[in-house]
Amino acid sequence: MTATNAVAGAAERRYPIPPADGATIDRDAQVILVRYENHIVALALACPHQNAAVKWLPTDGRFQCSKHDSRYTPEGVHTAGRATRNMDRFPITRDSAFVVVDVSRVFRSDQDAAGWAAASITV
């Protein structure tokens, strides 16, 4: 994945809008950018249970934690396993053909369910 820091500083990452459904991982920024059914979300790579890296399983169309196998939908909703909340989401906005991700903070679904749900753009 190609990412460039915005003029505003390293707290923002810009990515081209993904042309098709799927997940791409920016390990440097610990961001997973997901396009799924005309929505884009930016998920934290770290599992909300104990921060292990979450893997994308393309043939199953879901995420799974590499440590204790918690499972999540493509949009980060927790469906099984030891985690007790959804994958964390970064704030995301659209700038023409790009998405801009604020990597300085995340929305936690257990602390701000409305903010978490709103951290998505429609394409």
- 52 binding ligand FES? (CB under 6 A): yes
- 57 binding ligand FES? (CB under 6 A): no
Near ligand FES by CB under 6 A: residue from 67, 71, 85, 108: 67
Total residues binding ligand FES (CB under 6 A): 11
Which of 33, 83 has the CB closer to ligand FES? Answer: 83
C-alpha to C-alpha distance for 39 and 37, rounded to whole angstroms: 6
Shortest Cβ distance from residue 53 to ligand FES (Å)?
Answer: 9
Near ligand FES by CB under 6 A: residue from 32, 41, 83, 101: 83
Contact positions toward ligand FES, by CB under 6 A?
A: 47, 49-50, 52, 65, 67-68, 70, 81-83
